Chain A
Amino acid sequence: MQSFLATCIVAGTPLLFAIIGEIITERSGSLNLGVEGMMLLGAIAGFATAMSTQNPYAALLGAGLAGAGGALIYAILTVTLRANQTVTGLTLTIFGTGVASFVGQPMLGSTVPAEVSAFFAKRAAGVLADIPYVGPILFRQDLFVYFGYIICIFSAVYLYRTRLGLNLVAVGENTAAADASGINVNLYKYTHILIGGALCGLGGAYLSIVRIPIWQVDVVAGRGWIAVALVIFASWNPLKAFFAAMLFGGLSILGLRLQAMGFSFSQYLVDMIPYLATILIVILSTRKSGKGNLGPANMSRPYFREDR
């Protein structure tokens, strides 16, 4: 059981980055459906940087920049040019998928350099690793996973406990009021769309550098879409995002584990579970009463200052 939960954390980490990235993006009032594309951009950029520099930090930086680069396209189109957010996001997904396949073509089948793999090998986090039961699950992981924990806590504090974070929430809830109170709305939107994109890129890079250190086409395989849905499940809260990510990471490998234990059933059926669960959760969370469950009030509405 313990070993299974430890693998759930690994399977959930790419989702965690993507969910938090999308939460931060949506908090600024922007529904970016390009998560899948930004994850793929991050995955290929991280992998390519790792291959060419053999430096894990450079790989992380490359992945974050690529994700942010994808988000920049989205931000220019939707914030400055006020294009439709849904369509722009979808386009970004298609774009990211294409770029990753094209750039990755010559690297297919190659493996992440040993220096980088060694950096991301599993290591115990000091005394924390000795906490009974929980320690081996949470704190005998790789550095990327720990980085995910930090991002999770940091973004929760940022959103609920800092002036900048509260301003961001205000922009997403009522852009006009935020503008009137002197918040630089476009700056907030741009910054947080870019940060969100960078986190999505890192989520993709976790897959291509740590999880599956071999480059392959479509390494993200639909996780970006699940992440978009899980933002609703997490009710735009980074701490709840952690549980959402780990739960769905677990669901994605549950079937394999059961087969390994000797149960026989169709893997196709099990493959449906995360998606069925996503539908179920989206229904359940929209039925719950309370304002927080509907998301930022001004989401996916382009903001025209003169429109007030």
Chain B
Amino acid sequence: MKKIFALVLILALALGSFAACGGGEEQPEVTEPELTVGFIFIGPINDGGYTQAHYEGAVRMKEHFEGKVDFKYIENVNDSDTQASLTAGQNLLDQGCDVIVGASFGFMEALDQLANSGDYDDKYFLHFSGYMANETNFDNFFGSIDEARYLAGMVAGSMTESNKLGYVGAMPYTEVMIGINAYTLGAQSVNPDVEVSVVYIGSWGDPEKELAAAEQLLAEGCDIITQHSDSTGPQLAAQDAGAYAIGYNLANPAAPNAYLTAPIWHHDAYYIYAVENILAGTFKPESYYGTMATGYIALAPMSDLVPAEVQQLVEAKKAEMVAGTFAPFSGYIENADGTVLCEEGQSLDRGQIWAIGQLVKGAK
């Protein structure tokens, strides 16, 4: 009995393996991706903000290439720890990645070292928000989020009743201040009396502090809160106080009764562009700078809380930006200390915008 049972088992196993082989031959061959992109993320992919925006960009990139391109990622990499960033990059390269994307400023040093080490000359390194690059396989990318901030400012300037807007900023750093300036100029373009109060929390994201900062701004009479920080805390604080909120990074209405819109990044616009170039062999470092016209930057669809005439106004300005007939930093602009930044009829170029280093009149 035992023998028969064993025999049956062996037969079944043998048949099973034959069947498995047969199945493999019949199925269409699984296409090996031609290219794998490895992402190093500073936060978790479901953080509802900064890292999620990058992750969703990666997902859309993969969909765009329909199986030709795949991606891997490592999340929660401490970007102030160059050694950890290097290890993460190396790890992805060992797993067969051909392109490494560092999705935070602090990964710059690690990417620079890998790109110029000589071991990875056939690999590509793309870095978000940095300034380093080389001649062949290391580039940085960023975008004109100030365009979307300007539009968000128009929404806020049109809708405020107290003429006081609250801005939760990460830290007094150029990138943040450009955003504040663009937002202020946008708001002033529709409402000259508007003032923007800024509270810096001292980090890129700390929900408790972001929320507390928004609360204090609301207590000081601000009726619309926006943010350059990673969490939805400010939106929730605004909703609790019966005020409005403008988000950041992602169209993520965590507080539906307050959410108006958000300046957002479509990182896939760059990922797809870069990967296409790499596949075609035409990649060349260029310090990519995406704009609203290239689809890298956008203002998230405005919610129903935004009146139709304000939406029209903003859409019209957006069309001008896309057409290239309007730039946020143009016309007469004065700094908070009274120095003239830009004359009537002129506009600032990218280098000049990044060199402002202070807030414009009306923001403090």
Contact = CB atoms under 8 A, between A and B. Distances in A.
Interface residues of B, number: 33
B202 interface: yes
Given A259-B198, A260-B166, A7 B211 contact: no
B201 A267 contact: yes
Given A212-B208, A214-B232, A260 B48 contact: no
A89 to B, nearest CB: 24
Interface in B192-243: 197-202, 206-209, 211-213, 215-217, 219-220, 222, 231-233, 236
Contacts of B198: 259
A257 interface: yes
Interface in A224-276: 252-253, 256-257, 259-262, 264, 266-268, 271
Interface string A191-230: 0000000000000000100011110110101000000000
A3 interface: yes
Contacts of A217: 44
B81 interface: no
A40 interface: no
A176 B255 CA distance: 57
A58 B48 CA distance: 26
Counting chain A residues whose Cβ lies within 8 A of the other chain, the interface size class is 20 to 34
Interface string A64-106: 0000000000000000000000000000000000000000011
A271 B52 CA distance: 28
A21 B197 CA distance: 39
Say whether chain A's binding surface is mostly helix, strand, loop, or mixed: helix
A256 B231 contact: no
Contacts of A214: 48, 207, 231-233, 236, 254
Interface in A99-122: 105-106, 108-109, 111
A262 B364 contact: yes
A256 B211 CA distance: 10
A11 interface: yes
Contact of A267 (B44, B52, B171, B216): B171
Given A108-B44, A111-B236, A211-B211, 7 more contacts: A4-B216, A11-B212, A109-B46, A109-B48, A111-B254, A260-B219, A260-B220
